[in-house]
Chains A and B, each alone.
Chain A
Amino acid sequence: MSASPHTLTPVGRSLRLLVLGIGAAVMLFPYVWMIATSFKPQAEVFSSGLSLIPEHSSILANYGKALGRIPMGRVLLNGVVVCLAIVVFQIAFALPAAYALAKLRFRGRDLMFGLVILGLLIPIHAVSIPMFAAFRALGLINTLAGLVVPFTLSVFAVFLFRQFIKAMPDDLIHAGRMDGLSEGAIVRRIVLPNAWPAATAFAIFSVVTHWNDLYWPSIVISKTELATPPLGVLFFRAAEAGDDYGALMAATVIVTAPLVVFFLFAQKAFIEGITMTGLKG
């Protein structure tokens, strides 16, 4: 983006930096304390006041507790597996349907699209009660499958991809048919590569959503070894009776870091992804 056409006066420049600097300090305040406290021994957490740098480092003890008290590696792995499984299923189911809705004429298309719109209006919280009853009957409580299955369907993905594919030139699709590709092969070889920006945006949105989700996991999972990162934090806090804030902050650093690091390396994709999918919230 080109620089603003109107350069600020020196006063305006300093004012801008001052206000944004204060804002950034407030935004980053929790991170600074989270990291600083994760280095402190328990006694210093209670006595050191506003000093950020520990007199005696307790890094190993705190992170050791965070990794040892509950199987934190397993918790992170659960989060990765669940988020990946969800996003792969969502795209695999949504993309062909979105292509059909965007480019094919078939009976029931309007009805199908109507259902997609209807689906956009129904949040997981609405269907969670009967789904919980059904999952109990099916034995899906306390399984990773129970965390994935409800989200394999994303009508939002269908909606987003349909809009995107609609804008693709028909000639592209015709060329595929000329080459004798089946409709399924057209989806894989032509639609998917061309819909990559939309798929990336959706994938980021989906991973951020499900990595953070506490509502559904807290309904289906009660076993520590099946916990996703948000549940892991709660289980750790429950296991760590008392106020061992150093270890607790170490645990929060461990579960927060993966997505934050990922974000810092792919900021543009993240911000574009969240902007593009902003309509879902």
Chain B
Amino acid sequence: MSDHALALPALPAVAPRRRVDHDDRAALSLVGPIAVLMLLLLLAPTAAMIALSLTDAELGASTITFVGLDAYRDVLGDRTFLISAKNTALYVAIVTPASVGLGLGFALLIEAGTELRGFFRSAYFLPVVSLITAMATVWQYLMHPAIGPINLLLHVVGLPSINWLGSSDNVLGSLALIGIWQQTGFDMVLFLAGLGAIDRTLYDAAEIDGARSAVDRFRLVTWPMLGPTLLFVVTITMINAVKVFETVMTLTQGGPAKASEVLLWTIYQEGFVFLHLGTASAMAVIFVAVLLVLIVFQTRVMDRRVHYG
């Protein structure tokens, strides 16, 4: 793209045209393309999903019957879907506090000193930029019951082997461990940003007021100032955890015995493997409703962050 701004003749300055019709026409060419995309890629499919969820549509079937809210009644009474919802909730309940807690702890420790700051930050952040499907296959090897290095290590220190992914009692916990490994660095980076935004003079003020120890400084300054960031990190971690899919598809396919069946995997199976578009749509509507609650909560948290941040 050449830049000929200098070559333009020095015309008498035209007052910037602020007439409304001009903006209307210019705006149309600027927002028109994206308006069309929104219609095609967002609004129409969303409407179609809601419409489909009220039918018994199946790909390849010749007829579609309107079944109304019955699809939802079926989904909410479906054993697999209920197990899936319960597993997803449990997964979120493990991954969220663990990765937020570790992320905060690591961020505080990294900030507390100067040595190896960059190295630690990069090491913890690495999983965020690593292909999760590939790393999941690595974890599959690490967690192999016989030749996996984790069980070999347990053996060295005299502990019994664990059937990480093959037992229905352990599988969700093992997936959660991988989820925590993947999420902690992301949370840590958000906390580092939050810590960096705290006004240093507050610490000086606290010290003048008698806050001598690190614990006092944390209690009086860091924790209250970090509050909005904390709420924000908690919600974003929950949103990410609800969307767990890659590790399940790569490692367990929902098994054994549905013990790692999670919502996105169930929807994926129902819609794209069994081709039950109606049922899958009803499940997706419920899934989106759950996400919406979290996102609306997050937006409110964001507002607070803007006010205090």
Contact = CB atoms under 8 A, between A and B. Distances in A.
Interface in B260-309: 264, 267-268, 271-272, 277, 280-281, 284-285, 287-288, 291-292, 295-296, 298, 302
Classify the interface of chain A: helix, strand, loop or mixed: helix
A129 B126 contact: no
B14 A26 contact: no
A246 to B, nearest CB: 10
A178 B59 CA distance: 57
Interface string B112-139: 1111101111111111111111110111
B152 A180 contact: no
Contacts of A97: 30-31, 33-35
B106 A23 contact: yes
Contact of A104 (B23, B113, B135, B281): B23
Contacts, number: 305
Interface in B171-203: 181, 184-186, 189-190, 192-193, 196, 200, 203
Contacts of A56: none
A234 to B, nearest CB: 7
Interface string A156-185: 001000000000000000100111111110
B308 to A, nearest CB: 16
A272 to B, nearest CB: 9
Given A94-B34, A178-B13, A189-B5, A28 B126 contact: yes
A130 B272 contact: no
Contacts of B17: 177
Given A46-B147, A121-B295, A274-B189, A132 B271 contact: yes
Contact of B123 (A1, A24, A109, A237): A24
Contact of B42 (A100, A125, A153, A233): A153
Contact of A255 (B44, B126, B131, B196): B131
Given A50-B152, A214-B246, A256 B131 contact: yes
Nearest to A212: B132
B268 to A, nearest CB: 7
A62 interface: no
B131 A153 contact: no
Interface residues of A, number: 109
A45 B142 CA distance: 11
B42 A230 contact: no
B193 A275 contact: yes
Interface string B138-168: 1101100001010011001000000000000
B38 interface: yes
A121 B137 contact: no
B81 to A, nearest CB: 15
A94 B35 CA distance: 10
B257 interface: no
Given A19-B109, A105-B20, A126 B138 contact: no
B134 A27 contact: no
A264 interface: yes
B61 interface: no
17 contacts: A4-B111, A12-B113, A17-B115, A93-B34, A96-B29, A96-B30, A104-B26, A115-B38, A125-B287, A133-B277, A153-B37, A214-B250, A218-B272, A267-B121, A275-B189, A278-B193, A279-B302
Interface of A: 1, 3-6, 8, 12-13, 16-17, 19-20, 23-24, 26-31, 33-34, 37, 45-46, 49-50, 93-94, 96-97, 99-101, 104-107, 109, 112, 115, 118-123, 125-134, 136, 149-150, 152-153, 155, 158, 174, 177-184, 187-189, 208, 211-212, 214-215, 218-219, 229-231, 233-234, 237, 245, 248-249, 251-252, 255-256, 259-260, 262-264, 267, 270-271, 274-275, 278-279, 281
The 5 closest A-B pairs by CB, nearest first: A106-B27, A130-B48, A127-B45, A230-B133, A252-B134
